[in-house]
Amino acid sequence: MVLALSAEERAIINGRDGAGAAMAMRIVARTAELMGAPRLIPIASAHIDGALYHGDSGTYFAEKLVEGQAKVRVRATLNVGSLDLTGCSGNRLPPHEAAMAKRMMQAYIKLGCEPSWTCAPYQAGHRPQTGTDVAWGESNAVVFCNSVLGARTNRYGDYLDIACAIAGRAPDYGLHRPENRRATVVVNLSALDSALLSQAVAWPVLGNLYGRLIGDSIGVVTGVAPEMLSEDDLKAFGAASASSGAVGLFHFAGRTPEAPDAESALQGHEPLECIRVTPQMVREARKALSTIEADRIDAVAIGSPHLSLFEFDLLEATISDRRLTVPLYACTGRHVLRELDKNQRRQRLEQAGVIVVADTCVVVTPILPEKDNAVLMTNSGKFAHYAPGNTGYGVVYGSLQECVESAVTGRVRFTEEAW
């Protein structure tokens, strides 16, 4: 299919708005050609994942755009970087890498991006309207944007995301098109105990299972009362599903905007597959999130995606007036950090043994201490998926309460009532 560019788009490519804008528009147009898109479409916003340091070339790319006087044309929030610029926590990046990571973060701000530095921009007020086209990076942000907000985005990778933000355009293909948002698989949870579904610990497990079952297909989940699902539950489900599978969009019948019922999510078609999730499947999925059997832990990490203010309320209530014997790393965005600092809440958490991490997280940059045979406990399905490879720590999965109880004693503590 031949890509049709407007006169405006051709003018930008030809340098009307400067070298940086021309480069960005060329990248977007070439991607559209590769994907078979017939045209480019305007976008309302972007979320940029490319500011995370993976090597010097990424810094040079951002600085090249700055040198070309590029500026974003739409609202563009920034995903986590490699440094905690708030000073809450340190990391072990060598001097050269730390300097290049900081240069990269500064370059993206010069391009006009908002220094939000969070993987959960939807918690920081970036919530595009249902039906609008956007260009978001970061897998959990993408799946939340598509599924819970009902905006339309593909999974935009590093550097294409900022190119779209500067061009103000995205290729018209994939999940931007309504017909490609149709569910083809029904995932039925009605065989599961409602007591389990009412607990936050279940949703990362179910998300991990869903991702492994469905891959890159689109499913509609049935058999769960819509009022049982909080936004944090959907966040945890989506993040885990996007990590274990390639999920960019899911529907929950009666809960998400494009699924007032299962038939609407299916767009009137019969499903290609129906999956009935059994308690045994869930127990096996929960077990699979732990990569090691251990009786002691070296650290706890929570907040992938970044913790909401409500989740900090739960953390504080669970710790109460106790002190932790192993560090608990709580990753969040600076929008939440500002609220924690208003009444010295962060100070009290730190006195209890919590290490608040802002602007980044412990899986994408070296914050955790180097230790042989180290064990990390987490309540995050995404941390459980990525931490072994990214940090070298073995992982034990548990609920927030189990994570806190284990951090207090330094020994793994499980409560089996939910399962």
pLDDT in the model for residue 46:
98
pLDDT in tens, 338-358: 999 999 999 999 999 999 999
Whether pLDDT at 417 is above 70: no
Rounded to 10°, the helix 19-35/56-67 angle is 120
pLDDT in the model for residue 176:
98
pLDDT in the model for residue 203:
98
Q: Where are the beta strands (DSSP E) in 255-406?
A: 273-276, 299-307, 328-332, 354-358, 375-378, 394-397
Per DSSP, the three-state class of 163 is: helix
Greatest CA span in the chain, whole angstroms?
Answer: 66
Residue whose C-alpha is closest to residue 398's, from 385, 384, 386: 384
What is the pTM for the complete model shown? 0.97
pLDDT in tens, 25-54: 999 999 999 999 999 999 999 999 999 999
Per DSSP, the three-state class of 230 is: coil
pLDDT tier, 385 (very low <50, low <70, confident <90, very high otherwise): very high
**Mean pLDDT of the 106-130 span:** 98
Q: Give residue 128's identity as a one-letter amino acid code.
A: P
Strand ordering across the sheet containing 135-136: 75-78, 45-48, 135-136
- Tell me the backbone φ, ψ of residue 12, rounded to 5 degrees: -65, -45
Q: Residues near 190 by Cβ (< 8 Å), separated by ≥ 6?
A: 222, 223, 224, 276
Whether pLDDT at 418 is above 60: no
Q: Which residue has the tokens 């990046």?
A: 93
**Rg for the chain (alpha carbons), in Å?**
22
Q: Both tokens of residue 414?
A: 């499980």
Per DSSP, the three-state class of 301 is: strand
Q: Both tokens of residue 280?
A: 């045994």
pLDDT tier, 416 (very low <50, low <70, confident <90, very high otherwise): low
Q: Residues near 324 by Cβ (< 8 Å), separated by ≥ 6?
A: 300, 352, 353, 354, 404, 407, 408
pLDDT in tens, 283-330: 999 999 999 999 999 999 999 999 999 999 999 999 999 999 999 999
34: burial class by Cβ within 10 Å (0-12, 13-18, 19+)? Answer: exposed
Overall size of the chain counted in residues: 419
pLDDT in the model for residue 1:
74
Encode 113-136: b = buried (16+ Cβ within 10 Å), e = exposed: bbbbbbbbbbbbebebeeebbbbb
DSSP state of 260: S
Q: What is the DSSP annotation of 138-157?
A: SHHHHHHIIIII--B---PP
Rounded to 10°, the helix 345-352/309-319 angle is 40
Q: Both tokens of residue 321?
A: 């007036």
For residues 28, 32, 33, 34, the Cα torsion angle rounded to the nearest 10 degrees is 100
pLDDT in the model for residue 419:
60
Q: Cα(396)–Cα(293) distance, rounded to whole angstroms?
A: 7
pLDDT in the model for residue 90:
87
Q: Both tokens of residue 333?
A: 């965005």
Alpha helices per DSSP H over 215-365: 231-244, 262-265, 279-288, 309-319, 334-342, 345-352
pLDDT in tens, 189-243: 999 999 999 999 999 999 999 999 999 999 999 999 999 999 999 999 999 999 9
* 389 CB neighbour count, 10 Å cutoff: 9
Contact by Cβ (8 Å): 161, 49: yes
Encode 198-220: b = buried (16+ Cβ within 10 Å), e = exposed: ebbbbbbbbbbbbbebbeebbbb
pLDDT tier, 415 (very low <50, low <70, confident <90, very high otherwise): confident
Q: Cα(356)–Cα(344) distance, rounded to whole angstroms?
A: 13
Share of the chain above pLDDT 90, in %: 98
Q: Cα(280)–Cα(288) distance, rounded to whole angstroms?
A: 12
Tell me the pLDDT of the chain averaged across its residues: 97
